Structure 1
Amino acid sequence: MDFDYKKMKLGKHGLPTWDAMVAVLIYLTADGKEYSGKKLRKMAADSIGLPDELRNATYDSSYMDNMIEDRAGWGLSESYTAGIFDRPRRGIYVITKLGKSLLEDSDSIDVTLIHNLPKYQEHKKELKERNERSNISSNDKVPESFEDISENISTTVTSYNNQVASDLLSRIQASDPRFFENLVVKLLVAMGYRGPNGNSKVTQSTNDGGIDGVINQDALGTNTIYIQAKRYNSDNVVQRPMIDAFFGSLSRIHADRGVFITTSSFSKNAIETAKGFSIVLIDGIQLTELMLQYHVGIQVKNSFELFEIDEDFFEN
């Protein structure tokens, strides 16, 4: 049987869903031979005619897991739970009589059929008991795959953190200008711009010559970053003349690099001018995003671990 991914049930990213991959897995193992889980995942992914960009697509996570192999792996795991496959020994799969019987009508194989098989129903009873012990309501929807779980968590956390960043910007805009100058220097230090032997300082509030902060990246000051910080309300957009003035301040001290940070935003002309002067601009939104990224002015409220089975542990 030839499988064409375009004719299969497709999910996110234009790839077949995990339950669509089950028919592929059953067909590949119909000879009754034993296969390692790792080999089966790759065989299934390679047998549905995916173009390279889809075959090699990975999740945006620290593990960079291959998407289609992950879905094949999820299908293999769910099928094993449902009794379609057996595991005679660690990491090895073989099709069961139930699995072979499904070959006759492989088009009917989907999540509903798999989850209604007797062995899977037994699994659901165990899962229900585990959830009850963990105080999870049976009415709570449990995502069907790692991809769904990961994206749900990512979306929720990002939405919450965006609100924190917005509140953070309001707090900064209501603060003292001197506080803001200290804040931006601390942020750039947290980002690693002060080297191990460097130093940083906020300039005196009077006669600073348009320079609010200085970061020396080494002990001799041969690499120096000059900072201008403007604590403005969101409607007070930084215009081109302020960029010109900052460049003038840099030129007077023969500086070749500057960072202009504001709690508001920059006009189009200001942005174009800064590019010509090699001045880095950071607006209010980027400022607070960086503060969250480098943990400046915030603290971690909670963290969670999302587990998955280490297939290599069971296959090696």
Structure 2
Amino acid sequence: MSDLVESVEQPKSISTLPQWHAFMKPLLQVLSDGNTWSKKSLEQATLDQAGITAAGRVEMLPSGQYRALNRIGWATSALSQAQALSKPARAVMQITETGRNLLAQSPDGFGVRELEKIPAYQAYVPQRGKMRGEASAPAVSISSIDEDPTELIEAGVQAFAAEAAVDLIRRLREQHPDFFEQAVVDVLNMMGYGGTEQRGRRLGGSGDGGVDGVIDQDALGLSQIYVQAKRYGDGNTVQRPEIQGFVGALAGKGASQGVFVTTSLFSKGARDYVEQIPNRVVLIDGPRLAELMIRYRVGVQIKRTYEVVEVDEDYFE
């Protein structure tokens, strides 16, 4: 596997947080004081009870949700299905006798198997199947899934994105250099650097003065960003001399800022160099370019959309 593909497919750091069902016990332990708890207070107290570190509390899902709070949410949902907790008011929770029994019977902790022994939860599963018109087939319960459903969805989306990213770089390398230069300008336009009029354009040609595109940041072109686009093959890393040449081209244009984009990677020397110069030069390598193309919908399209619904509490008030 090439360095670029490995970089594109680099897995995210593995979370050290407990799985969602491991939050059920500390959640009930907090509620065991018999008081009613607001959702926000219960979440924070559960994090404390579970001993979640400061770093663990700020782990984020790609959607922007806090991973720990998302898992507590699924634990709350499962306990509610089993009637181990009640919701006497909106966003307010309280332990039930079923919840107390669950804690007493499983002092060392419990998981999905113990939850599925509770009659209320056993009754809940076939009801879901009937609602879906699947009385003859077992319904899949959230509690029967070991992973957090939200994280499974997002992991699937990330897997599709990673596959698309590798394919994007491959396709860009197969195209004519002119096509690649225009694709880079298209990305910068979609990012908003050329304003609503998308004032970015490809220059190209032998008389381009060492730059491939320019972005006018205002209608009069008083502020400009110059672009260099290098369609490098697999294993060809952009070195410091190429960046120095681009910086020289910027000086020839009287410009102080530029973007150097490649389908490959940048050497350490190249990256160190841009940190030392007064010019503002941004380096975008293949993995970053693919990420931006996906985010701003350049060269990709939405294949399928899934909708996740929940009860609208406002409707029932």
User: Do they superpose with TM above 0.5?
Assistant: yes
Q: Contact 1:198/1:221 (CA < 8 Å) preserved in 2?
A: no
Give 1:283 shift.
Answer: 1.6
The normalised TM-score by structure 2 is 0.78
Match of 2:222?
A: 222
Residues 87-96 or 151-160, more deviating: 87-96
Detail structure 1 runs of 4+ shifted over 6 Å in the superposition. none
Q: Contact 2:215/2:225 (CA < 8 Å) preserved in 1?
A: yes
Secondary structure of the 1:19 match is helix
Residue 243 (structure 1) aligned with residue 247 (structure 2): no
Q: Contact 2:17/2:68 (CA < 8 Å) preserved in 1?
A: no
Match of 2:25?
A: 20
Q: Contact 1:37/1:315 (CA < 8 Å) preserved in 2?
A: no
Residue 213 (structure 1) aligned with residue 213 (structure 2): yes
RMSD between superposed Cα atoms in Å? 3.6
Match of 1:270?
A: 270
Q: Contact 2:128/2:139 (CA < 8 Å) preserved in 1?
A: no
Q: Contact 1:23/1:106 (CA < 8 Å) preserved in 2?
A: no
Q: Evaluate the alpha carbon distance shift between residue 314 and residue 40 of structure 1 in structure 2; reply closer, same or farther with a 3 A threshold.
A: farther
- Amino acid corresponding to residue 180 of structure 2 in structure 1: F
1:285 paired residue among 282, 287, 295: 287
Give the distance between the partners of 2:185 and 2:127, measured in 1 at CA: 54
Secondary structure of the 1:124 match is helix
The normalised TM-score by structure 1 is 0.78
Give the distance between the partners of 1:283 and 1:255, measured in 2 at CA: 22
Give the distance between the partners of 1:140 and 1:93, measured in 2 at CA: 25
Match of 2:305?
A: 303
Give 1:95 shift.
Answer: 4.6
Give the count of matched residue pairs.
299
Match of 2:127?
A: 126
Match of 2:179?
A: 179
Q: Contact 2:185/2:201 (CA < 8 Å) preserved in 1?
A: yes
List aligned pairs for 1:1-316, cutoff 5 A: 12-13=16-17, 17-25=22-30, 27-29=32-34, 35=36, 38=39, 41-42=42-43, 44-45=45-46, 48=49, 50=51, 53=54, 56-57=57-58, 59-60=60-61, 62=63, 64-65=65-66, 67-68=68-69, 71-87=71-87, 95-102=95-102, 104-107=104-107, 110-111=110-111, 112-130=113-131, 133=134, 138=138, 142=142, 148-196=148-196, 199-277=199-277, 278=279, 279-309=281-311, 313=314
Q: Contact 1:41/1:72 (CA < 8 Å) preserved in 2?
A: no
Match of 2:3?
A: none
Give 1:296 shift.
Answer: 0.5
For structure 1, the 5+ residue unaligned runs are 1-10
Give a deviation string over 1:188-208, Cα, whole Å, max 9, x none. 111111124672221141211
Q: Evaluate the alpha carbon distance shift between residue 237 and residue 21 of structure 1 in structure 2; reply closer, same or farther with a 3 A threshold.
A: same
- Amino acid corresponding to residue 240 of structure 1 in structure 2: R
Q: Evaluate the alpha carbon distance shift between residue 253 and residue 50 of structure 1 in structure 2; reply closer, same or farther with a 3 A threshold.
A: same
